[in-house]
Amino acid sequence: MRIIRVWINQPDSQGMTRYKLQLLIYLSALLLSVSVFLPLTSFPIYGQVSYYRVAQLESWLVIGFALSSPGLILAGKEKWNILSLLGVWSVLLFPAAKDALQSSNASTPERIGNDVSAAMSDFSTNLFLNMADFHWGGFVFFAALILFTSGSIRYFFK
């Protein structure tokens, strides 16, 4: 409650205060955690697909890292907040990095086998390249990710 009172009483000339940034991190982490379950896109056979349906383990890791950020702030470990952000991004970028390493180190038959992978794993690998195929939930996910990233970085350097 103190955070909200202080946030309301701050003059706007100061820009983003620590309390406003904390509120931004709280709300964007919650929105990012919820948007994992929203429909990102649709596939012809599967219908509408969420990030949770595409990559269950990765989605729980994103939720865990995103919600650990407000937990670290409330626990007084504010400088460790950047690790939550790095965790979210490493989970989201891991499939692309793994795919790039496998395709460069694999022999020709392994590359052919890797190229014939499922559409859902391809979507999770190229998550940020498929923005043209996003439904409304994908845009909410992406907006929450951008807000969480910008809020965490600004809070870290404030």
User: Which has the minimum average pLDDT: 15-24, 40-49, 132-141?
Assistant: 40-49
Is the confidence at residue 114, as pLDDT, over 70?
no
* Residue 6 falls inside a structural domain: no
As a whole number of Å, the CA-based R_g of the chain is 18
* Residue 107 falls inside a structural domain: yes
What distance in Å separates the CA atoms of residue 26 and residue 127, rounded to the nearest whole number? 24
Reported confidence tier of residue 12, pLDDT bands at 50, 70, 90: very low
* Residue 7 falls inside a structural domain: no
Domain that holds residue 110: 27-157
* Residue 126 falls inside a structural domain: yes
* Residue 148 falls inside a structural domain: yes
* Residue 83 falls inside a structural domain: yes
- Would you state the pLDDT for residue 104? 55
Single-letter amino acid, residue 85: L
How much of the chain, in percent, has pLDDT values that exceed 70? 69
Three-state secondary structure call for residue 128: helix
Reported confidence tier of residue 8, pLDDT bands at 50, 70, 90: very low
* Residue 12 falls inside a structural domain: no
Three-state secondary structure call for residue 45: coil
**In the predicted model, what is the mean pLDDT of residues 72-99?**
87
Number of domains in the chain: 1
Single-letter amino acid, residue 30: L
What distance in Å separates the CA atoms of residue 135 and residue 50, rounded to the nearest whole number? 10
* Residue 130 falls inside a structural domain: yes
